[in-house]
Amino acid sequence: LAKTTQPISMDSYEGQEVNITCSHNNIATNDYITWYQQFPSQGPRFIIQGYKTKVTNEVASLFIPADRKSSTLSLPRVSLSDTAVYYCLVGEGNTGGFKTIFGAGTRLFVKA
């Protein structure tokens, strides 16, 4: 499993776009990049997953450069409710039940 490195914490203000970058220099060919969000007293929640280039859903965008050694989660126009811990994980997709190892995550604080 590739190791990931993220900033420990980030601050933002409501309405701003937030970009959280994750480094994964040892990513393997079959690895996908997956991001989770965790609020206090809740289990992590899947946000987005990608393999290369750009993926967008109703919650976020994920940008992955050609070398795939990093990825950036982009949250458009954050609100106070986006204050949470965000985890970047790298591992094989489409393998059915492959275990997930969590890194330290990034604590995002959104201020009014």
Partner 1 sequence: SAVISQKPSRDICQRGTSLTIQCQVDSQVTMMFWYRQQPGQSLTLIATANQGSEATYESGFVIDKFPISRPNLTFSTLTVSNMSPEDSSIYLCSVDWTGQNIQYFGAGTRLSVL
**What residue ranges bind partner 1 (CB under 8 A)?**
32, 34, 36, 41-46, 49, 87, 91-105
- List, in order, residues 6 or more apart from 14 with CB less than 8 Å away: 78, 79, 80, 110, 111, 112
Identity of the residue, 12 or 44, whose beta carbon is nearer to partner 1 in the bound complex: 44
For the CB of residue 109, give the shortest distance to partner 1 in the complex, in Å: 14
Q: Are 20 and 72 in contact (CB under 8 A)?
A: yes
For the CB of residue 78, give the shortest distance to partner 1 in the complex, in Å: 22
For the CB of residue 102, give the shortest distance to partner 1 in the complex, in Å: 4
Sign, CA dihedral 10-13-14-18, equals: negative
Q: Are 2 and 23 in contact (CB under 8 A)?
A: no
Partner residues linked to 37 by β-bridges? 45, 86
How many C-beta neighbours within 10 Å does residue 19 have? 13
Identity of the residue, 42 or 81, whose beta carbon is nearer to partner 1 in the bound complex: 42
For the CB of residue 15, give the shortest distance to partner 1 in the complex, in Å: 28
Identity of the residue, 97 or 112, whose beta carbon is nearer to partner 1 in the bound complex: 97
Identity of the residue, 17 or 56, whose beta carbon is nearer to partner 1 in the bound complex: 56
